[in-house]
Structure formats: structure tokens, C-alpha cells
């Protein structure tokens, strides 16, 4: 009996130590990048800037994930991999955190508690311009706070194990890999605007460099997302229909694309659609570079 107790006791201790090690190692990975607090653009409060901020929030998908009233959202049903991802109430968050903390979450992928985010797609916002980010913050602070009760987020042991082994990257790790914007607005204003829009709207799902992502199918069991050079096949009218409704050439209703497009992209202005269309068409003249997210 004594032996049995000893064996059970040591097995329990070993297990507890194993869990503690996974927990500590994953926390180390989640805290190995520090936020750089250098954002110093002042937050405007005029009506035009707040409208601009609303436009950024709409076209960059903040409403889709944080709720149409920015009230927050529990992803429990949709995403089971992190165990429980909970997008916080953004109207409230923006009022209770300073601009530098908000910048770190949105562009660097590092949360207010100093830990790297896992589900918030900061790589899609890494290249947001300072003035657009300031307008976005102004808008979030102006939005009425709608209180709903949200559960606490949780990271499962399997994800922690992957993080601990360096198999699962954090949002801050992904942000580091976002390519820089290449075009100079002073030289090619329309194409540079199109590049800016694409690199802050479409790279969430079409690969950090817009040239497609097969990795993605593993995340969402959806199909790999195509290289956006495919847009060369679309004329202006067809392209507008695609990004406003999710209907592809040949009247095909797409899947996830048809879900996000009507929520985000109908608010793009005509000139934004023009620049985006022209820039994406120009991609066809270059081969897609190698990248590990499209093995």
C-alpha cells in the first residue's frame, strides 16, 4: 500500500512538474518581445478625424471580430484551437488605455499586460499609418460603451505546448515578418495607396505579402487563399463586385471571403477601390517570392 501511494504520488508530482514547465516555457515565449512605446501622434477630436477612424475600423474588420457595437466577442464557438479567445470591448478598452498601449496591441501584437497576442491579427495592421491609427483611436474613444459580460480568455495546454516548443508563433512574431511597404507615395501616389490598403486589409488572409497562403487552410480548414495577382483577371466592375459581395468571376459565391467582404469593403471609396485594383493588378508582373506560409 505504501509503495502504491509512493508511485501514485511521484507520478502526480511528475505530471504537475510537466505542466508547470509547459506553462513557464510558454509564458517565456509569450513575453520574449517587449512593446516599444514610441507612438507620439496626438489623438485628434474633430468630427472629420473621428469619421476617418470609423472608416478605418470598418474597412479593417474591427467590428467583425469585436462586435458591431465594439462590445466584445467570445470566439468560443468559432475557434477552438486557442481554447478560448475573447475579443475585448474596444470602446471601453480605448477609454481605459493610453494611446501607446493601444498602438502596441494593434500594430505590434503585444497586449496591455505585456504578453504577446495570439488571435488578434496585428500583422494586418502593422503598417497602419500614424495618422490613421490616431484617427482610429479617436473613433474608438468616441464610440458609446455597450456593456456585455464576457468570459475570461484561456489558452489550452496543447497550444501552450506548441508555443513552448516554438511551433506556434505569437502575433508579435508574425508582425516581425510583415514586409515593408515598397512604393513611394511621392512617386506613384495611386499604386502606393493601393499597396497601403492591401497591406492593411488583405494580408490578414492572403499571406503577409499578398501572394497567397496555404498555411491558412490548416488554421481554418478552409481552402488555401489565392495569390492576389489573380486580380489581373478582374476588370474594375468585376473587382468591385468581388470585394463588396464576395462573388468571384463566373458568379461563384466564395466562402470566408463572402463573409468578410460585405462587412468590411463596401465602405471603401471609389478612389480607394481604384487604387487597390490597380496595385493588385500590378502584382502579376512579378513572380511570388518563396515564403514558408506557402510551402
What is the binding site for ligand HEC (CB under 6 A)? Answer: 57, 60-62, 64-66, 75, 85-88, 90, 93, 102, 105-106, 111-112, 117-121, 125, 136, 153, 201-202, 204-206, 222-223, 225-226, 228, 230-231, 242-243, 248-249, 254-258, 260, 265, 280
CB of 175 to ligand HEC, least distance (A): 12
CB of 209 to ligand HEC, least distance (A): 13
CB of 145 to ligand HEC, least distance (A): 14
In the bound state with ligand HEC, the residue whose beta carbon lies nearer, of 12 and 100, is 100
Length of the chain (residues): 295
**Among candidates 228, 234, 240, which has minimal Cα distance to 267?**
240
Whether the Cβ atoms of residue 53 and residue 45 lie closer than 8 Å to each other: no
CA 254 centroid distance within chain: 21
Spatial separation of the C-alpha atoms in residues 184 and 209, rounded to whole Å: 17
Please name the residues in contact with 60: beta carbons below 8 A apart, sequence gap of 6 or more: 124, 125, 128, 136, 200, 201, 264
In the bound state with ligand HEC, the residue whose beta carbon lies nearer, of 183 and 186, is 183
Spatial separation of the C-alpha atoms in residues 147 and 145, rounded to whole Å: 6
Please name the residues in contact with 284: beta carbons below 8 A apart, sequence gap of 6 or more: 229, 231, 232
CB of 258 to ligand HEC, least distance (A): 6
**Among candidates 27, 57, 191, which has minimal Cα distance to 124?**
57
DSSP state of 213: B
In the bound state with ligand HEC, the residue whose beta carbon lies nearer, of 105 and 178, is 105
In the bound state with ligand HEC, the residue whose beta carbon lies nearer, of 93 and 174, is 93
CB of 108 to ligand HEC, least distance (A): 10
In the bound state with ligand HEC, the residue whose beta carbon lies nearer, of 117 and 208, is 117
CB of 11 to ligand HEC, least distance (A): 34
In the bound state with ligand HEC, the residue whose beta carbon lies nearer, of 7 and 175, is 175
Amino acid at each position: 500500500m505504501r509503495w502504491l501511494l509512493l508511485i501514485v504520488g511521484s507520478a502526480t508530482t511528475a505530471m504537475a512538474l510537466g505542466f508547470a514547465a509547459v506553462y513557464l516555457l510558454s509564458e517565456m515565449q509569450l513575453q520574449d518581445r517587449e512593446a516599444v512605446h514610441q507612438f507620439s501622434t496626438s489623438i485628434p477630436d474633430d468630427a472629420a478625424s473621428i469619421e476617418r477612424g470609423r472608416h478605418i475600423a470598418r474597412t479593417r474588420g474591427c467590428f467583425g471580430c469585436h462586435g458591431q457595437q465594439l462590445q466584445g466577442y467570445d470566439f468560443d464557438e468559432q475557434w477552438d484551437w486557442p481554447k478560448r479567445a475573447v475579443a475585448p470591448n474596444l470602446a471601453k478598452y480605448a477609454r481605459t488605455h493610453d494611446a501607446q498601449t493601444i498602438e502596441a496591441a494593434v500594430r505590434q501584437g503585444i497586449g496591455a499586460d505585456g504578453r504577446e497576442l495570439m488571435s488578434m491579427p496585428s500583422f494586418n495592421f502593422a503598417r497602419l499609418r500614424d495618422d490613421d491609427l490616431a484617427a482610429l483611436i479617436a473613433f474608438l474613444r468616441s464610440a458609446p460603451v455597450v456593456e456585455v459580460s464576457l468570459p475570461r480568455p484561456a489558452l489550452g495546454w496543447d497550444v501552450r505546448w506548441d508555443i513552448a516548443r516554438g511551433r506556434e508563433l505569437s502575433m508579435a512574431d508574425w508582425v516581425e515578418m510583415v514586409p515593408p511597404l515598397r512604393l513611394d507615395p511621392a512617386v506613384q501616389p495611386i499604386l502606393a495607396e493601393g499597396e497601403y490598403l492591401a497591406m492593411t486589409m488583405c494580408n490578414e488572409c492572403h499571406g503577409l505579402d499578398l501572394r497567397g497562403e496555404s498555411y491558412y487552410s490548416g488554421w481554418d480548414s478552409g481552402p488555401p487563399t489565392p495569390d492576389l495577382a489573380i486580380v489581373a483577371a478582374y476588370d474594375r466592375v468585376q473587382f468591385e463586385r468581388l470585394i463588396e459581395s464576395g462573388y468571384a468571376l463566373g458568379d461563384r459565391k466564395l466562402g470566408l471571403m463572402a463573409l468578410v467582404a460585405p462587412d468590411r469593403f463596401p465602405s471603401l471609396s471609389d478612389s480607394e477601390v481604384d487604387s487597390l485594383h490597380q496595385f493588385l493588378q500590378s502584382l502579376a508582373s512579378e513572380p511570388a517570392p518563396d515564403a514558408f506560409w506557402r510551402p
